[in-house]
Structures are given as structure tokens and as C-alpha cells.
Amino acid sequence: MKNVLRFILILLLTAAAFFAGTAWKINHENSGSRAKVEDLQKEQVTTFTEEKVAPTRNTEPVRGLDDAEKATISLFEKATPSVVFITTSDVRRDYFTRSLREYKSGSGSGFIWDYNGHIITNYHVIKGADKAMVTLSDQTSYPAKLVGIAPSKDLAVLKIDAPDEKLRPLRTGNSYNLRVGQSVYAIGNPFGLDQTLTTGIVSALGREINSVQGLPIRDVIQTDAAINPGNSGGPLLNSSGELIGVNTAIYSPSGASAGIGFSIPVDAVKWVVPDLIKYGKMQRPDIGVDFFPQRTTAQLGLNGILVKTVWKDTAAEKAGIQPTYRDRYGKLHLGDIIVAIDGERIENENDYLLTLENYRAGDKVSILVEREDKRIKLDVVLEAAN
């Protein structure tokens, strides 16, 4: 009996030792695995941290670039601080709560005009918006105030209060001497992707597109540099980094770039923007007359624009331009028909308005009118439009 008990006791101790050793081995292996996992996690965290704080743009010089590539890179780096991202919003009353809420309404591009914080963009970018925010290239944002609009030219001026050191105006060039085939560069924020550069050439000159008001914008630059939604209002630059146009529209069946983009020429921008900054609108010169609708003139079989009214104490009255009127017997007397201004043929009111844009208040022009089957030249001193 004692031998049996001794055998059972030895068996139990052996089993206990076996299970204790197995448990120690498993625990040791698990501890090693946990240590390896912790080491791996530390390595991953370290790698992630290093990637997170790494610079987003490689500033080291890249070897193997040709002169053309270096010039393009330099142009982009110098011009980028002048290009801005514009987001607009409108304020609407919630139908259920009746509280006012702000909703994003659109976005576009623009560029810094001067050190006073004036920003140039397209009118259609900010049309109908209650608020606008301007984001600079360093990602700082400023609320913008609307200064002036020129819907007939699809141009608008905003103003931000930013420190002088953040304002980098673009240098302005000329558009009258552009040549088809010369290189151009467009910078903007297509589809909200900020600071995007596309390159191309001047594809054609002297194009005509319609503004938001339906009036034609003449002498527009056509380019194949990719212009997409969001590029509107951004600059078109020449190879010297000078502003030569404001990107405004594309021709595309799909709505995306098809290689046909249009830019408002900088020569028009240079005379429109100062008026918008000073007066809030274009101060197109005028002579002080109203015209009959073009369909009325056409129905009468007349060429040119038929004067309906001559306003009192205006340049037209001083020059002797005659209005349409009825005499005391009820007989209708047609007014003067303006057919040319300084030799430029006038066929409709659009021709009249666009021709006067080439002048300033105070300039003297020669207006050719038809009056009772005679042609008469009248000298008119232009006045500022009311």
C-alpha cells in the first residue's frame, strides 16, 4: 500500500514539473513575440513620424535638367506666391430652423495686383456670392471685400488686408505684341487642386467670346495650355513671367480642357482695373444718347445705330447730334444714324460701346452720321458715362 502511494505521489510531481516547464516555455516564447511586436511597432511609429515631418517639397537641385526645364521651374517658383485660391459662399435661411447658414457656392483662381491687397479674378467666379475667402500660396486665408466689377469684361477686383510681406504682385506685360506660337504658362487651382502649372502656346489671337452680360469681349487670346474649372481668374504668363492675360473660359463639349482656352488680354485688364479700384465700375466714355433697338433700325432698312434721345447738356447735344422726334403735326422725324467713329464702322450698339472703350473722357472723336440722306462729320468731346 505504501509503495502504491509513493508511486502515485511521484507520478503527480512528475506531471506537475512537466506542466510547469511547458507553461514557462510558452510564456517565454510569448514574451519574445510581444517584444518583437513592440519593437516592430516602435519602428513603424518612428518611420511614420519621420515621413510626417519630412519636407513636402524637395528643395534640392535636380540634376539632368535642360535650360528650358530650369526656366519653367524658375518661372513657376517666382510666380506662385502671386497666385491665390478663391472660395465663395452664400448665406441662406434654413427652411426648418429659420436660422442663417453659410454654404459654399464656388471656387476659382486669382492673382495679386498690388501691395494694397487688390486681387484680380473673373466676375463669374464671385457672381452672386455673399462672401469670398482668399487663400495665399502659404495657405493663409483672408476674408475679401468686393471692390468693383466689370461684367462686360468678366473681371472683378477683391481686396484683402494682408501684411505687405505676403503680397507679391505680378509683373504686367503687354498683349498687343503677342505672336501665335509663343510659349505661355497658366497657373491656377483647377478642380480645387491649388498651385497647378500648365504650359502651352498662343494658339490664336483676336478671338471673340461673350461675357456674362452677353456683350462680346474682343481680342481674346486663345491658348492650348490646359485650363479647367477652377482655373478661371488665374494668370496667363509669358516666358518672362509677365502677366499677358486672365484665364476666363474654355471651349469643351465635355466641360474639361480640350486644348482650347481663352484669356482676357492684359491690355484690356490694365485700363479696366484702375477704374474698378477707383470707381467700382468701368468709366466707359459716352456722348449722352439713347438708341432704338437694333431690330427697329433693321426694320426701317437702315445701317448703323439710330439715335432715339439726346440728353440735355451732354457732349452729343453740344456737338449737334439730332434725336428722333415728332413735330406738332405728329409727323415722325428720324434722328441721326451713327455709322462710324474715327473711321471705325458702327453697325450696332455693341460696335459703338466697344469702340468707345478705346478712348477716355476728354478725348475728341469724329462721328460720322447720316441725316436726311446726307453724311455729316461731327467733332464730339467724350464725357464720362453716368
Which of 9-18, 92-101, 208-217, 237-246 bottoms out in mean pLDDT, i.e. has the lowest? 9-18
Looking at residue 2, its pLDDT comes to 52
Over 50: is that where the pLDDT of 152 sits? yes
Residue 219 in any domain: the answer is yes
Over 60: is that where the pLDDT of 319 sits? yes
Instruction: Find the mean pLDDT for residues 14-32.
Output: 52
Residue 54 in any domain: the answer is no
Instruction: Find the mean pLDDT for residues 55-60.
Output: 53
pLDDT digits (tens, 9 = 90+) for 74-95: 999 999 999 999 999 987 776 6
Domain that holds residue 332: 285-384
317-to-167, 345, 382 alpha-carbon distances in Å: 47, 22, 12
CB of 180 closer than 8 Å to CB of 192: no
CB of 237 closer than 8 Å to CB of 185: yes
Of 245, 264, 279, the one marking the end of a domain is 279
Is 128 in the same domain as 187? Answer: no
pLDDT cut 70: percent of the chain above it = 79
Helix, strand, coil shares of the chain, percent, nearest 5, are 30, 35, 35
Report which DSSP code applies to 172: B
> Does residue 206 sit in helix, strand or coil?
strand
Is 266 in the same domain as 320? Answer: no
Residue 75 in any domain: the answer is no
Which of 21-30, 36-45, 198-207, 364-373 bottoms out in mean pLDDT, i.e. has the lowest? 36-45
Instruction: Find the mean pLDDT for residues 24-46.
Output: 46
Q: CA–CA separation, 91 vs 85, rounded Å?
A: 20
Is 204 in the same domain as 226? Answer: yes
Residue 189 in any domain: the answer is yes
Is 136 in the same domain as 196? Answer: no
Of 246, 279, 312, the one marking the end of a domain is 279
pTM, entire model: 0.69
> What number of other Cβ atoms are within 10 A of residue 89's Cβ?
17
Catalytic one of 124, 194, 257, 351:
124
Indicate if 333 belongs to the active site: no
> Does residue 100 sit in helix, strand or coil?
strand
| CATH number for 293 | 2.30.42.10
Indicate if 232 belongs to the active site: yes
Instruction: Find the mean pLDDT for residues 132-149.
Output: 95
Is 254 in the same domain as 314? Answer: no
Which of 13-22, 193-202, 315-324 bottoms out in mean pLDDT, i.e. has the lowest? 13-22
Chain mean pLDDT for the chain: 83
The more confidently predicted of residues 51 and 315 is: 315
Instruction: Find the mean pLDDT for residues 259-286.
Output: 90
Residue 196 in any domain: the answer is yes
Looking at residue 365, its pLDDT comes to 95
Residue 78 in any domain: the answer is no
Indicate if 154 belongs to the active site: yes
Looking at residue 364, its pLDDT comes to 94
**Alpha-carbon dihedral angle through residues 305, 309, 311, 316, given to the nearest 10 degrees:** 30
**Opening angle at CA 366, ends 363 and 368, nearest 5:** 145
Is 269 in the same domain as 314? Answer: no
Looking at residue 349, its pLDDT comes to 84
Backbone phi, psi, residue 182, to 5°: -75, 155
Total domain count for the chain?
3
Residue 65 in any domain: the answer is no
**Opening angle at CA 250, ends 241 and 214, nearest 5:** 110
Give burial (CB, 10 Å; 0-12/13-18/19+) of 61. exposed
Is 298 in the same domain as 366? Answer: yes
Residue 236 in any domain: the answer is yes
Assign 50 a pLDDT band (cuts: 50, 70, 90).
very low
Catalytic one of 154, 286, 336, 351:
154
Catalytic one of 105, 107, 152, 232:
232
Is 155 in the same domain as 188? Answer: no
CB of 106 closer than 8 Å to CB of 125: yes
Of 228, 249, 279, the one marking the end of a domain is 279
pLDDT digits (tens, 9 = 90+) for 355-366: 888 898 899 999
pLDDT digits (tens, 9 = 90+) for 286-313: 898 989 988 888 888 999 999 999 999 9
Is 233 in the same domain as 260? Answer: yes
Over 80: is that where the pLDDT of 115 sits? yes
Q: Which residue carries 428720324 as its cell?
A: 334
The listed range with the strongest mean pLDDT (175-179, 288-292, 318-322, 348-352) is 318-322
Looking at residue 286, its pLDDT comes to 87
